[in-house]
A and B are shown apart, each in its own frame.
Chain A
Amino acid sequence: MNKKELKRVDIIFDCANCEPLEIVKKALAMKPDEIIDQIISSGLKGRGGAGFPTGLKWKLAKEEKSDTKYVICNADEGEPGTFKDREILDVVPSKVLVGMCICAYAIGAKEGFVYLRNEYNFLLKDLIPLIEKFNKNIQKLGLDFHIKVFSGSGAYICGEESALFESMEGKRGEPRNKPPYPTKVGYNGKPTVINNVETLVYCTMIVRIGVEPFKKLGTNDSRGSKVFSVSGDTSKAGIYELELGVGVDEFVNEFGNGDTKAVQVGGASGHCVPRKDFKNKIIGFEGIPTGGSMMIFNSSRSMYNVLKDYLEFFEEESCGQCTPCRVGTQQLLKGIEAVKHGEKPSSYLNQLLKLTETMRVASKCGLGQSVHNSFSSIVKNFREEMIY
């Protein structure tokens, strides 16, 4: 295990020498393939949570032969405990737009969208004029690319890329079957690259500072750094960019307040790490992956309440399209309540664990598939709290 010490990094919010149009110019002076090679060799993986290699995604989209291609910035941040994309769009929005431009140039797209969750509409007041100005400026540089904002309407599932396309197409936000993947059949059936807000800023910065400064951070499977949203029982709640591969124990030493019982890494769809595992778990794709949500719980907190909160969330946000997820989320919630109230024996928890396993295998999209993560890690590590 390649465990890293906790190290603060300043790439995402760093604004020194980051004149946006200069970075676009630098990208336009390169060949599209050169840019894609750089992103591939940086080892950058998607920062929204799923961790797909960004350079490969761009390459696949570039190879598609189509007159129409799209670049979409996924700003539908909704995972409980995540708030970094809001901060990035608030503080360094130009760097997000530059990332979209670089991608558009690399894959040959003429149109781009920022899909912004409705809860962040207050950002529009500054974002829309900025985009209008930016569009004009990049035209002047000779890049035929135009960015628009698409506002969401309050549905967590629309953060799932294919549900997001459906939503933009004016339909219910129900995920599609995959394959085909978005790089082949995306928005309006056209090749589409959809990247998380933070991922796009890393692309901007890789072009700006080069591959090496990024690549030397992190581990083999988790290159670079990542922005974390820290909340819960901590006196240091907020947003921090840290090197990937840090041990959970180091994280707790820095952010916990001395009485940390568990850390939920990756929000409701992530994993719960109990105290006994702090020292042998690392935060990264080879350990516990996260879109950035880090919730810290002290020993005074009931993990039953935490799990119940997550299950209520999933039950409400399941799109209802596929049965394992629609029925599964309802039954899990009912099930833990029944065990807690003594209406079912504690052994019923084992049946519920099997149900989450079924959901993991049989659900159509990441929502239903990942309920298993939090459910099994909380129930297995805090079984007594589920019963008594």
Chain B
Amino acid sequence: MVQTENLIQELIKKHGNKRTSLLPILQDVVERERYLSEYAMVEVAKALDVSSAEVYGTASFYTFLYTKPMGKNIIRVCKTISCKMAGKEELVKALEKVLKIKMGETTRDMQFSLTESNCLGWCHKGPVMLINDTVYTEITPEKAVEVICAIDPKHLTNL
């Protein structure tokens, strides 16, 4: 909690305490703490002098501002038609198998969250996934498994 408080003070210094600073602050909290806890949202609200309902209302509008705990590595698989046509389903199956979770879930060790996303803007190179800010294009199920195991080798045993 003290950590969150300090983080928010630090972010206010960096972005300012105007309402226009809200999104950059929330984005940075998510980057550091992987999600927006109720506590963090209330603290941000106090710092910007807006109601916490406003902060929650804004945060919950955006896909990337998570209000529940997410893994350290957030996998986003593009689910738009071009990627579906290029084999997105097989990719998802392979990811579910190697991570031992279903779409939308987070691994128990909080290392990976598996999510679907609308068009990621790589339709000519589908299927595509993002892991945090890194893009993987034309990613076959085999390559995806390699990527996961390179990040966390313990998943090798799930194969």
Contacts and interface: CB of A to CB of B under 8 A. Distances in A.
A82 B80 CA distance: 11
A293 B24 CA distance: 30
A188 B21 CA distance: 13
Interface residues of B, number: 37
Contacts of B22: 170-171
A97 interface: no
Contacts of B58: 170-172
A226 B125 CA distance: 21
Interface in A281-323: 293, 295, 301, 305-306, 309-310, 313, 316-317, 319
A81 B128 CA distance: 13
Interface string B118-130: 1111111110001
A309 B116 CA distance: 13
Contacts of B48: 170
B119 A79 contact: yes
Given A121-B133, A170-B22, A313-B80, A229 B62 contact: no
Contacts of A317: 118
B85 A301 contact: yes
A156 interface: yes
B130 A80 contact: no
Contacts of B65: 153-154
B62 A155 contact: yes
Interface in A212-237: 229-233, 237
Main DSSP-derived SS at the A contact region: mixed
B81 A295 contact: yes
Given A121-B133, A153-B27, A83 B57 contact: no
A167 B23 contact: yes
A173 B62 contact: yes
B118 A169 contact: no
A117 B135 CA distance: 14
Contacts of A188: 20
Interface of A: 77-83, 85-86, 117-122, 150-151, 153-156, 167-174, 188, 229-233, 237-239, 293, 295, 301, 305-306, 309-310, 313, 316-317, 319
23 contacts: A78-B118, A79-B119, A80-B119, A81-B81, A82-B119, A85-B121, A86-B122, A122-B134, A153-B26, A153-B64, A154-B62, A155-B63, A167-B23, A168-B23, A171-B58, A173-B61, A229-B123, A232-B123, A233-B85, A237-B123, A239-B124, A305-B84, A313-B80
8 closest residue pairs by CB, A with B: A170-B22, A154-B63, A231-B123, A237-B124, A153-B62, A154-B64, A172-B61, A83-B121
